[in-house]
Structure 1
């Protein structure tokens, strides 16, 4: 069942000990922008590590669009820095922060997206069990 529980208020996510980020709820526009970032990676000529690069693009784009402020993040000297697209990209290069953001923000959003697609007519990638509606080609 699709549960409609709209929330437009930003909320805090704890990423690491002493580090938390305030995020906007995932929106359709954010997901479409993230898909576009992924499609740019896919359209590139270099196919090495494609799955890895598409995941980085998806999580990174959502992080840039979602994170509006944070606590516990500073520069090399420990001076607090604001959440900007550039500093958010730097935060996402820290594996532990990337992994926590992915598991606490991105994956739940993708699960909600999958939840509303749960009643498709046939399993993805197969037409087994479906009736042909077109005559065979000559």
Structure 2
């Protein structure tokens, strides 16, 4: 069962100690744009490290589209910087921030429709119990 509840409010994610980002909820448009970013990687000539590069493209594109504000992010001198596409890319270039964003934002967005409660229905056809192949105990 998919549980439908509109999520229209942005919300905060803690990425690192002292660093948090406010994100928009994942939308169909955002997911399609991220898919297109992955498609560009796949259609490219260089197929080396394809899985790695597609993951970077997916998470990076969603970060660019989702992050609308942040706290605790600054330049090399520690001066706070604005949320821009280039600065989001720099933030996602930091492994811990990338991994936390992937864990807290991307994975839930990708798995939202796949949630199941309890057992799934039996596939169409017989629901008869299978024959035991174990030898009875003596």
TM-score relative to the length of structure 2: 0.83
SS in 2 for 1:33: helix
- TM superposition shift of 1:5: 1.1
- The aligned counterpart of 1:79 is 79
SS in 1 for 2:20: strand
Per-residue CA deviation, residues 4-50 of structure 1 (Å, 9 max, x unaligned), is: 01111000000000000000000000000000000000000111000
**CA RMSD of the aligned region, Å?**
1.6
- The aligned counterpart of 2:104 is 104
Stretches of structure 2 lacking an aligned partner (at least 5 in a row): 126-138
CA distance in 2, matches of 1:19, 1:5: 28
- TM superposition shift of 1:79: 0.2
- The aligned counterpart of 2:20 is 20
Instruction: Please tell me whether the aligned partners of residues 68 and 83 of structure 2 are also in contact (alpha carbons under 8 angstroms).
Output: yes
SS in 2 for 1:74: coil
- The aligned counterpart of 1:50 is 50
- The aligned counterpart of 1:136 is none
CA distance in 2, matches of 1:79, 1:114: 42
- The aligned counterpart of 1:126 is none
TM-score relative to the length of structure 1: 0.83
SS in 1 for 2:9: coil
Stretches of structure 1 lacking an aligned partner (at least 5 in a row): 123-128, 130-138
Residues 116-135 of structure 1 aligned to structure 2 (within 5 Å): none
- The aligned counterpart of 1:63 is 63
